[in-house]
Amino acid sequence: MVKKDAKAYVYINGKIMGFVDNPADFANEIRASRRKGILSGEVNVAYMEKTNEIHINTDSGRVRKPYIIVENEKSKLTQDLAQKLKNKEINFNYLLRNGIVEYLDAEEEENAMVVFNEKDINEKTTHIESDLSGIFGFTINVSPFPEHNSLARHAMLANFTKQAEGLYASNFNIRFDSRSYLLFYPQMPIVKTATYDSINMKSHPSGQNFVVALSTYYGYNMADAIVINKAAVDRGMGRSVFYKTYSDEERRYPGGQKDRFKLPPATTEGYMGEHVYSKLSEDGIIEPEMSVEEGEVIIGKVAPPRFLEENLGAGGLEEKMRDDSTILKAGEKGVVDSVVFTETTGATKIVKVRIRSLKVPEKGDKFASRHGQKGVVALIVPQEDMPFNSDGIVPDLLLNPHSIPTRLTFGHLLETLAGKAGAVSGKTIDGTAFAEEGPKRIEAYSKMLEERGFEKYGNETLYDGITGRPFKAQIFNGVVYYNRLYHMVSNKIQVRSRGKVQILTHQPTEGKARQGALRFGEMERDALIGYGASLLLKERLLDQSDKTTIAICKSCGGMGYYDHIKRITICSLCGKNDFEDVEISYAFKILLDEIKSLHILPTIKLKE
């Protein structure tokens, strides 16, 4: 424990600056001068009673939050001031300057006693939280009714918000982002929050209001799958465009050589055939609004040969060039949206080609609501087969009701109801956290629905689109704001039967970009051993992978080589040519070669 009446160390930005006798008073004095404006509002002070230290922080990188100051058990934000603020006679900065509101950092918060409500103020209270939703950050506060959702779902929501397609920038047309996604008809959500307005999300909308019914559909929306309406898709629901920019430059090499943008002549090394270059114009670069597919060249370029020797035989003739064109990657297609031809400050020519491709929602595309409820389209149903209500309203999306109770996302249900109430009465609904208690909210939305002749809790009799019969149970439906996330099958799908292999190991390549295969890993191997399927295992690991045939000398067990001049296989160890062809994995051959490189001779004994 700290001795009584001991002097307290004073730290400024973590460095000891001196001592004080009565630390608590000292800290209060600093606070008082900050409120008066003598000290900068960015200064925070904290007195640590346990260690008897004073920490004054003025540096950057501290997370700070505004609080309303309480003095003598009274909030400094009086009724009068609040009214003035409402009438816009004063603004937030006025409150800051006049010591009514101040920012606290994490350390100073330890010294503060904060209440949520003015009536809770007691003699210890130092601050009031400006708004209850202030206990959440921006990301959570953009979602409606966050206080009704589980924390785990908020974490997911924060991720989905980043992945949502929308209008990310209004100058998208002149930007050359390497990848960007743009939603065709973004909407403002019917259920908004105060934060939504304050961070100006209005100018960057990222979703659409879907009519959602909580219903199953022949098992097609089990386990986070969703069923969507074909007609809605045709009307533009979730439709978006994907831009991808390819770029290339004329590089300079030591020795005065450089790349050249041009239509590669047929004599170029690595020329891929006329049809591949057919869409290029004379300058070797593709023209806008040309539709392109995988494997086609979009930027024609020739480069000098990699090694000098290649050039020597030419004897002063025209330089032999190498093809270094940019090819549209596998699985991609679209229309050339825009081409830019420019120079860097170093006078290097640069070409950027932006490819645009339309992404209509299809099976396998991902959608998410603002409650961490994600789903993948599993079925697109023609409108006539979807359930409908007596007014002829057909839902855009069918969400499985099982996705609600275990995930504790009751905010989703509340948004469905609020969205419906807002839609029928033509109003936006405020979904700010803690703005109203849950039951009162439901009451208000129920009233709005009843006034317009709807069932008050959002339930309706729906009719089976296929049989035309009403469903026995009433089905809860409403309007929910959905985001389309940028994970789309068309950008991820990849297939391979036979294909490229790695040079070093002769094994199949890995990854989509290399047309790779799926790895048959250790655990898969164990499963086959456990089942005793020895030939299937051999097929996976050898025949379909890196099978090689080597010649083994029958007398010494060494590896033979084929002499192309004598046209016989010779053993380099004993010189004989009595061989047996053996099938082994190429990986094992490398092992043998590497062991040999260490001056150790591995030999293979053959069984009779």
Partner 1 sequence: MAKKYSDGREEFHVEKGDPVGMIAAQSMGEPGTQMVLRAFHLAGIESTISTSGLPRIAELVDAKKSPATPITYVYLDKSINKDLEKVVALMKKINEVRMSTIMRHAPMENFGKGLIKISLSGQELESEQLTAKQVASKLAKELEVEAYEKDGAVYINAHTKDAKKIRALSTKISKMVVSGIEGAGKTTVQKDKNTGEFYIIAAGSNIESIINVDGVDKSRLTTNDVFAIYRLFGIEAARNSIIKELNQTLKEQKISVDERHLMLIADSMTSAGSIKGVGRHGLSGQKNSVLARAAYEETVKHLIHAAAFGEIDPMEGVTENILVGKQIPIGTGSVKLGIKTEQPKKK
Binding region for partner 1 (CB under 8 A) out of 10-18, 177-185, 349-357, 519-527? 519-527
Task: Measure the CA–CA gap between 458 and 401, rounded to whole angstroms.
Answer: 14
Minimum CB–partner distance for residue 538 and partner 1 (Å): 5
User: What Rg value do the Cα atoms of the chain yield, rounded?
Assistant: 35
Task: Measure the CA–CA gap between 331 and 275, rounded to whole angstroms.
Answer: 18
Marked catalytic residue, from 131, 224, 385, 430: 224
Question: Reduced to 3 states, what is the DSSP secondary structure of residue 393?
Answer: coil
Residue whose C-alpha is closest to residue 19's, from 33, 8, 3: 8
Total of chain residues touching partner 1, rule CB under 8 A: 24
The verdict on whether 224 is a catalytic residue reads: yes
Binding region for partner 1 (CB under 8 A) out of 39-47, 228-236, 493-501, 538-546? 538-546
Q: Does 506 bind partner 1 (CB under 8 A)?
A: no
Residues of this chain, 573-602, that bind partner 1 according to CB under 8 A: 583-585, 587-588, 595, 598, 600
Q: Does 541 bind partner 1 (CB under 8 A)?
A: yes
- Closest CB to partner 1 among residues 358, 595: 595
CB 232 within 8 A of CB 252: no
- Closest CB to partner 1 among residues 424, 604: 604
Question: For residue 81, what are the contacts with CB-CB under 8 A and spacing of at least 6?
Answer: 90, 95, 100
Minimum CB–partner distance for residue 534 and partner 1 (Å): 3
For partner 1, the binding residue among 452, 525, 575, 581 (CB under 8 A) is: 525
Structure tokens at 220: 């097609």
Question: For residue 589, what are the contacts with CB-CB under 8 A and spacing of at least 6?
Answer: 548, 550
Minimum CB–partner distance for residue 549 and partner 1 (Å): 11
Structure tokens at 505: 């190991």
Minimum CB–partner distance for residue 603 and partner 1 (Å): 9
Task: Measure the CA–CA gap between 551 and 330, rounded to whole angstroms.
Answer: 38
Q: Half-sphere exposure of residue 343, counting CA atoms within 13 Å on the CB side?
A: 4
Minimum CB–partner distance for residue 608 and partner 1 (Å): 13
Minimum CB–partner distance for residue 545 and partner 1 (Å): 8
For partner 1, the binding residue among 352, 547, 554, 576 (CB under 8 A) is: 547
Task: Measure the CA–CA gap between 485 and 366, rounded to whole angstroms.
Answer: 6
Question: Reduced to 3 states, what is the DSSP secondary structure of residue 363?
Answer: coil
Minimum CB–partner distance for residue 158 and partner 1 (Å): 25
DSSP state at residue 280: B
For partner 1, the binding residue among 529, 561, 572, 593 (CB under 8 A) is: 529
Full strand arrangement of the beta sheet holding 260-261: 260-261, 301-303, 322-323
Task: Measure the CA–CA gap between 17 and 9, rounded to whole angstroms.
Answer: 8
Q: Does 538 bind partner 1 (CB under 8 A)?
A: yes
Structure tokens at 134: 């202030």
- Closest CB to partner 1 among residues 347, 535: 535
For partner 1, the binding residue among 379, 393, 444, 542 (CB under 8 A) is: 542
- Closest CB to partner 1 among residues 512, 547: 547
For partner 1, the binding residue among 2, 199, 513, 533 (CB under 8 A) is: 533
Task: Measure the CA–CA gap between 551 and 454, rounded to whole angstroms.
Answer: 83
- Residues of this chain that bind partner 1 (CB under 8 A): 525-527, 529-535, 537-538, 541-542, 547, 583-585, 587-588, 595, 598, 600, 605
- Which residues form the catalytic set? 224
